[in-house]
Structure 1
Amino acid sequence: MDVILLERIAKLGQMGETVKVRDGFARNYLLPLGKALRANEANKKRFEAERSTLEARNLERKSEAQKVAEQLDGKSFVMVRSAGETGQLYGSVAARDIIEALSAEGFNIGRNQVELNTPIKAIGLHKVVLHLHAEVEIAIELNVARSADEAERQAKGESLTSADAIYGVDEDALKPEDFFDPEADQDGDEE
């Protein structure tokens, strides 16, 4: 199905372009959300008549998204979660959790604006990309830790999942000879 895009859509095209998309994508996503019109003569004339207002609205949305991006730039958000000794979370951090953390700080971001392909399942510092507008995206830092104290230590660059942090052992000082005698008979036969 050929459609006329009413806004820029990533990996598809710019506003005003006529593109060919699958019928289901057009019927279930583009047309109901008002992101496109069917490409026929009547809709082409309608688009040309409304082009200036659509461009103005798009520019306004982009400037609002740019302001939010400037406020978010360089921010780090702390998520306190239960985790095991190895740093594996007992649950996970999903897009919904990120939205809650952002709204607690006063940012109104939709769940579909968070690019998180898989949930976060380990403590540490994670980069999460937010698509605030088709032309504006920003990466925020998510500090997932077991406590606020651990989050501060992680922010300073300290690793909390290494043997040193967990057991108080220097990993570099450990050698295989510390655990077994290379001279000993390995197969267990007494000769």
Structure 2
Amino acid sequence: MLQRATPERLSTFSDGVFAVLITVLVLELRPPEQPTFEALLALWPTWLSYAVSYVFIAIVWVNHHHLIRYANEATPSLLWFNFAHLFSMSLLPLSTAWMAVSELAPQPVAFYAAVFFLVNATYVALIWELIDRTPHGDIPPKVRRIMRVRSLTTLCLFGAASVVALRYPLVGLGICICCLIVYLRPEPT
């Protein structure tokens, strides 16, 4: 018997996807071929890529949980926006691995930033579905405004990071990292 989708089931399913993404991400890590600390340090682009991606997944997961709590029901549009968000997240292990093996080359870093852009764009869609469609009395106007401004500002910055990374990959990656700091607290105040 097919059971009706609920916000709780949506959250549980999403948790499973996030867990798989972290697992796939860690499976890409390879030890150095030489048993020396120098060989381990030479893999710094891999470790940096992994660390940023791990933190990114954690931040997106925390913010996703925060946002889903506003769901009263799992509407078809919410389900599709959530699937789009999870799809965009599923590109992270690929972009992380490419960026790491390229040793932070411009095009892989630009693609990595573009994945951040896509994840944030689908997050904006979730905000639109869950926050903007919620009755105004349930969510204070200040919170709505901050969530909207924060998500649209970081969306623009992730887009800029994609372009900047084509010329200055570390600067593009730095822009992405700075944007993550804004989402460390999911509750805008």
- TM-score, normalised to structure 1's length? 0.24
Q: Which of structures 1 and 2 has the larger relative contact order (alpha carbons within 8 angstroms, sep 6+)? A: 2
Computing the radius of gyration over CA atoms, which structure comes out larger, 1 or 2?
A: 1
- TM-score, normalised to structure 2's length? 0.24
* Structure with more strand by fraction: 1
* Structure with more helix by fraction: 2
